[in-house]
Structure 1
Amino acid sequence: MIKISIRRTYRFQEIVNAFLKNGFSHVLFRLGITERRAAATMKSEPMDTNLQHIGQKLNRTLQELGPTFIKLGQIASTRRDLVPPEIIRELEKLQDHAEPFPFDDVQEIIERELGKPLNELFESFNDKPLATASIGQVHAAFLHSGEKVAVKVQRPDIRQTVGTDLSILKEIASIIENNTEWGKLYGVRAIINEFADSLLSELDYENEGRNAERIARQVKKDPSVYIPEIYWELTSKKVLTMEMIEGIKSNDIDLLDKNGYDRKLIARRLVHSMFSQVLNHGFFHGDPHPGNIYIMPGNVISFIDFGMIGVMDDDLKLQFAKLIMELERGSTKGIIKVMDSMGILQDETDIKSLQKDLGMLKTKYYDVPLQNMSLGDIFMDLFGVAYRHQVKIPSEITVLGKTILTLEGLVSKLDPDMSIMDGVEPFGKKLIKEYYSPSSLLRTAWENFSENAEILANIPRDFKDISTAAKKGKLKLDINLRQTSFILRRMDIISNRLAFSVILLAFSILMTGLIIGSAIAGENNMLLNLPVIEIGAIIAILMFIFLLFSIFKSGRM
């Protein structure tokens, strides 16, 4: 315990010194991380207000501090809603390269993890790594059965290093959130916790293997996409053995042309595969840079390295599809409505000012043909607007935005005439059509009715509990005026659901009464020679459909 404390204290001081050395003494003091006299002991530059210079110094600092901070910088470079664009550009230059670690360590880790000598596990094993990074390195090997494989081995003690860094980062996040309005507004602790979960997941090679197999199942019926096989008997949390992909790197245009590959077809297949992952399955490769995509014979696309994955639930997929449609239409009100549906507009958000900035974005892309639009650029502009108005975009959307930007850069090299807007539009329209299909609406309506029926059944008991608490003087009412809009939105949802339930109940009672009455009387109900039951049923059904449509259209269901 003492060793851990000493190591943590030493590492904390090392982190602080790195930031002080690179000119961040004023920042550390204002955040409450250092005292003024501590900052004064370091020779620091005057406070720099040039964001590009700050980005360059931040890049240098994170690079010095190693893998945890390099990963943090890379993830921060996707958060254009939180970080100024000048700093983003510098963070994007962070390189996750490291010196290879000795083969003796590689062998020791493999044998300890897999429980057998190296020569029993593999027919042959290349001691020179194919690639190195801050977390691990990859070696080529052959199995006794003859298959060529790629073996990823984790660096010694990397988990201990990352664990110490993450605990320090969480402490720093708490200081920032407690001492700054910015930290409170964006929930810095939650952001760091999310980052920690992502990085720890990336350190688990078994999890990476499961990610690969999940995407393999998604593309099982698509012969144009290939996912390498995972050899589970040679895989652990620190060792990953997968099929070696023999292909051409996707950005090696000259080699692709030399070997007669169809680059236009490859580009179409790549876009289709990525948006199928995103909008059909909600589980997608989160880092599709050229080094992670190889082209195999027959213009088949192969993805590798599944450490970074994006996840989108059904609601977020729908909101993303709506956002694409509103961007295409150039509807600023529609974009704001989608943002509101995501729950990302703060009480302090100036809607009129936000609408004005989105209007300027609309003007920028006005009359630009769909095939000439850059979806990546549109998203970066949108994230820039979000940054200026302190609108926090869901991290899943920012990961997707970064993925789209990376994908678009690769596609433009493969086929300069292709726009990925052409590829995403059909998926978006299909998703919205499915959501608003009669079967989907009825299923959602039934789920909501069942939920509300349970709520209504519990109302007497809830009132009794409230009354009992009031009599005992234990009833507390806590109203936070800063959350007024949230409360009103929730009340809107509740009122719509109650209205839906009451109308549905009334409709059932009305129709039941008319049918029973008609049956008892033994005659048709006619009024002025008009069939009352039939007309009443039609009117009630039309009212029911109108109400249902209004509630779903409002997005408050």
Structure 2
Amino acid sequence: MRLLRLARISLVGFRHGLDQMILDHAATTRIGAWLQRLLPRRRFAESPEVRLRLALESLGPIFVKFGQMLSTRRDLLAPELADELAKLQDRVPPFPTELALARLQAEYGRPVNEVFSRFDLAPVASASVAQVHFGALPDGTEVAIKILRPGIDKIIAKDMGLLDVAATIIEKLWADGRRLKPREVVAEFAKHLQDELDLMREAANCSQLRRNFKDSPLLAVPEVYWDFCGPAVMVMQRMHGLPISQIDVLREKGVDLSALSRAGVEIFFTQVFRDGFFHADMHPGNILVDTELPRRGQYIALDFGIMGTLTDRDKAYLAQNFLAFFKRDYKRVAQAHLDAGWVPADTRVDEFESAIRAVCEPIFDRPLKEISFGKTLLRLFQTARRFHMEVQPQLVMLQKTLLNIEGLGRQLDPELDLWDTAKPFLERWMNDQMGWRALLRHVKEEAPNWAATLPQIPRLLHQTLNDSRRDQVALQLSVIEMQIRSQRRISTLLTASLVVLIVLVAYLVLHQ
């Protein structure tokens, strides 16, 4: 079966000229130059970037998903290729309803009509990993039921094995193979796919995001019904709203698009800097907007398979850099990169500062419609490569999410100024983190621990002293033991020497 899949992949690749794309970049290697002379050259009407996108679409949902993920790695790809891969659409036909019913019965151990009071046979959404049906719980609560595709784990395992083989070949043949790290990219993609295959993990992500935005007027997150969830099934509250891409309908419903665009920016920065836990797949298909009072204009989040996390150090670094960008303090930006160890220690700060200024200065004081953050990020990545900067893996999804925010902002309000919208929020966050409020908050958070620890201090101190004395005694005993062993060895050596001497003297006397 794997050989048949490999043969089909090879046929699709040859049909779209992917072999020539690889060999064009492999001419500097010995085997690449030999293969170029051996294989015939062909002409294609489409560009290499278009041919790669068409090939991935032909190979199926896993390869489409891989291309989508790869399009976010603009630190690795040429801009033309990244733009083309971003056009990939995950159009996957639904699997038969009979398989969905069988999957649910296997999960619950009883027929579906005994679990739900209503189950809609026609799916409302279908993707590469799962599909969604509407239904109702026994008490009448309307729910969305997400069901994992049958056999998807085996399909993913086979395709990931073949992707790893392809990455190995590219790494050997392509001149830039080692710099692009194709095997590491495939491993990163495999990790995200494995996370999506466990719907209990997605349910936990949904529950955490809902808790973070409880009672928020900005973002609504569905409730998870844990009694009905399992590794292959996720049951959550059905949400009512319009897709955010239906801008004309939203305007007719009385939604303030300018306020909606600003709310989207605030949601993004709240997730990133307040919580360090953010929705990393915010494309228009995963976002609805409530059009009914009293929550008109509220965002509704869907699909929680891909979430990003940031440490306190990451958040502080990002906030300092964002604020420095807003204030055009490029020296501070350069110094922050140097202090974090993201650029080599021998990098000249003034040169790095000048390079960052050349990238960022042109984008200020301009409306969003005249700024391409994708191109700005690309130029930053090119600058980073020139200074041998390592792109941090934990920020890759953040970069992708920022690009999604840019796309949403362009659709809703082309005049939106992302910088002016975000700057007050970041300044408030920095004051909360660095000022006296932060000190009071930390004291309040640690006070219960202090109350539990203070009574134990005398005992812990006594135990520490005893442990210290015990260690000293053990050290002294080990020294004495070493001395005794040394004396024994010396004594044994002297005794042996004396015996040899006596035997030698006896031999001489007898010989006389």
Q: TM-score normalized by structure 1? A: 0.69
Report the counterpart of residue 62 of structure 2 in structure 1: 68
How many angstroms apart in 2 are the aligned matches of 1:367 and 1:275? 21
Shift in Å at residue 397 of structure 1? 2.4
Q: Which amino acid aligns with 1:228?
A: P
Contact 1:130 1:139 in 2 (8 A): yes
Say what the alpha-carbon RMSD is for the aligned residues: 3.7
Which residue number in structure 2 is paired with residue 215 of structure 1?
209
Question: Counterpart in 1 of 2:51?
Answer: 57
User: In the alignment, residue 188 of structure 1 is paired with which amino acid?
Assistant: P
* Residues 243 and 436 of structure 1, relative CA distance in 2, 3 Å threshold: closer
Question: 1:306 offset after TM fit, Å?
Answer: 0.7
Aligned to 2:222: 228
Q: Aligned match of 2:126 in 117, 125, 132? A: 132
- Report the alpha carbon displacement of residue 369 of structure 1 after superposing the two structures with TM: 7.9
Give runs of aligned pairs for residues 114-193 of structure 1, distance below 5 A: 114-177=108-171, 182-193=176-187
Q: 2:136, 2:143 within 8 Å by CA — same for their partners in 1?
A: yes
Pick from 25, 32, 36: which aligns with 2:19? 25
Whether 1:408 and 2:406 are equivalent positions in the alignment is: yes
- 2:154 maps to a residue whose letter is Q
Taking the aligned partners of 1:347 and 1:182, their CA distance within structure 2 comes to 25
User: What is the SS of the residue equivalent to 1:401?
Assistant: helix
The answer to whether the 8 Å contact 2:21/2:48 transfers is no
Matches within 5 A, 1:82-97: 82-97=76-91
Supply the AA of the counterpart residue of 1:261.
V
2:317 is the alignment partner of 1:319? yes
**Superposed counterparts of 1:331-342, under 5 Å:** 331-342=329-340
For residue 293 of structure 1, what is the aligned residue in structure 2?
287
Q: State the AA in 1 paired with 2:320.
A: K
| Residue 93 (structure 2) pairs with residue 111 (structure 1) | no
Match in the other structure for 1:486: none
Kept in 2, the 8 Å contact 1:211–1:306? The answer is: yes
Counterparts in 2 of 1:351 and 1:163: CA distance versus 1, 3 Å: farther
1:309 Cα deviation from its structure 2 partner: 1.1
Find the aligned partners of 1:128 and 1:42 in 2 and give their Cα distance: 49
Q: Percent identity?
A: 30
Match of 2:234 in 1: 240
Equivalent pair of 1:373/1:419 in contact (CA under 8 Å): no
Q: Within 1, Cα distance between the matches of 2:30 and 2:106?
A: 41
Does residue 1:330 correspond to 2:328, yes or no?
yes
Q: What is the rounded CA distance, in whole Å, between the counterparts of 1:186 and 1:338 in structure 2? A: 25
Alignment-derived partner of residue 198 in structure 2 = 204
Q: 2:274 aligns with which of 277, 280, 286?
A: 280
1:260 matched to 2:235? The reply is: no
Match of 1:344 among 330, 334, 342: 342
- Between the aligned partners of 1:175 and 1:19, the Cα distance in structure 2 is 14
Q: 1:295–1:284: structure 2 CA closer, same or farther, 3 Å change rule?
A: same
Contact 1:344/1:391, CA 8 A, preserved across alignment = yes
Q: 1:239 to 1:369 in 2, by over 3 A?
A: closer
Show the counterpart of 2:42: 45
- Judged with a 3 Å threshold, the aligned counterparts in structure 2 of structure 1 residues 85 and 373 are, in CA distance, closer, same or farther, namely closer
For residue 47 of structure 2, give the secondary structure of its aligned residue in structure 1.
helix
Determine if contact 2:337/2:343 at 8 Å carries over to the other structure.
yes
**Separation in 1 of the partners of 2:355 and 2:47?**
27
Read off the aligned partner of 1:326 and give its amino acid letter. Answer: A
Q: 1: distance between equivalents of 2:205 and 2:224?
A: 10
Correspondence for 2:491: none
Larger radius of gyration: 2
Give the unaligned 5+ runs of structure 2: 443-467, 476-512
Distance change (3 Å), C-alpha of 1:350 and 1:437: closer
Contact 1:289 1:406 in 2 (8 A): yes
Residue in 1 that maps onto 2:308: 310
Give the match's secondary structure for 2:8. Answer: helix
Q: What residue number does 1:359 align with? A: 357
**Mapping of residues 542-557 of structure 1, within 5 Å:** none
- Indicate conservation of the 8 Å contact 2:368/2:415, yes or no: no
Structure-2 separation of matches of 1:91 and 1:348: 36
Which residue is 1:394 aligned to? 392
State the alpha-carbon separation in 2 of the partners of residues 226 and 328 from structure 1.
Answer: 30
Contact 2:32–2:173 under 8 Å retained in 1: no
- 3-state SS of the aligned residue for 1:302? strand
**C-alpha contact 2:280 2:398 (8 A) present in aligned 1:** yes
Relative to structure 1, the CA distance from residue 440 to residue 232 in structure 2 (aligned partners, 3 Å threshold; closer, same or farther) is closer
Write the letter of the residue equivalent to 2:275. H
1:229 alignment partner, SS class: coil
Aligned residues: 440
Question: Is the 1:151–1:242 Cα contact (8 Å) retained in structure 2?
Answer: yes
2:433 is the alignment partner of 1:422: no
**Could you tell which deviates more after superposition, 103-112 or 172-181?**
172-181
- In structure 1, what is the equivalent of residue 489 of structure 2? none
1:102 corresponds in structure 2 to 96
